[in-house]
Amino acid sequence: MLFMRRFLFILFIVTFCIMGFSQDASSDAIASTTTTDVYKDKAKKIIDKVCAEYESFKSMKVNFHLITNRNGYETVDTIAGVVQGEKYRLSTRNQEIACDGTSVWHYQKDKKELTKSVPNPNDPNLVFPHKMLRLYERDYTPTYLGEAKVGDRTIQKLEFIPKNQYQQIKKIHIYVIKESSQILRVTRYEGKGSRFSLDFRNVLYNVKVDQRVFRLDMS
């Protein structure tokens, strides 16, 4: 759960398994298509298009699948998310996280513990993909690795290598649906073979949202 919170506030989301998009397709078909150094400008253009796409949405509802691979074990957690402007709500099996734009509430269900804090604008929260990508541009070197056809969609793969070689995160892969400029999956690679992937599933845009979901009762 500690990583889930940090991943959602220090990273941002997506899917290998959705619509038949497998890990083999992403790592083999895409990685072999191009070489990293040649396509930095291409990566920048894709990032700009993705940012513009998400900035155009008034609201978004999505189910996130967090896939954790560590020490040879894989776990899957589901996160229900809703976002509107600077507000968001994340619901997991063990916690609720709500932000009304000025305050953030964390409720731990097992402990029945509710805490309140102030949003950190420097956290690349995955519910704000455009903000996440801009922060990655600052701290990582992005490269376009190529694309692969998955069904009737084309998937573009971006790689982000940390500028600080001592970073715990070794690299980040982001998979983008070319036709819509929307993120499909974000995968973060750490030391000792640990890998964390966040998939976007069942995404709905510009939906009506009850404003009460962005607050948790402190009483």
Instruction: Count CB atoms within 10 A of the CB of residue 218.
Output: 10
Domain boundaries, the chain: 2-211
Q: Where are the beta strands (DSSP E) in 48-168?
A: 59-70, 73-84, 87-91, 95-99, 104-108, 113-117, 140-150, 153-162
Is CATH 1.10.10.1100 the right assignment for the domain spanning 2-211?
no
Task: Please give the span between the terminal C-alpha atoms of the chain, in angstroms, as a whole number.
Answer: 25
- Each residue's pLDDT expressed in tens, for the chain with a length of 219 residues: 433 444 433 333 332 222 233 333 344 444 444 455 667 999 999 999 999 999 999 999 999 999 999 988 999 999 999 999 999 999 999 999 999 999 999 999 999 999 999 988 766 566 888 888 998 889 999 999 999 998 899 999 999 999 988 888 999 999 999 999 999 999 999 988 899 999 999 999 999 999 999 999 755
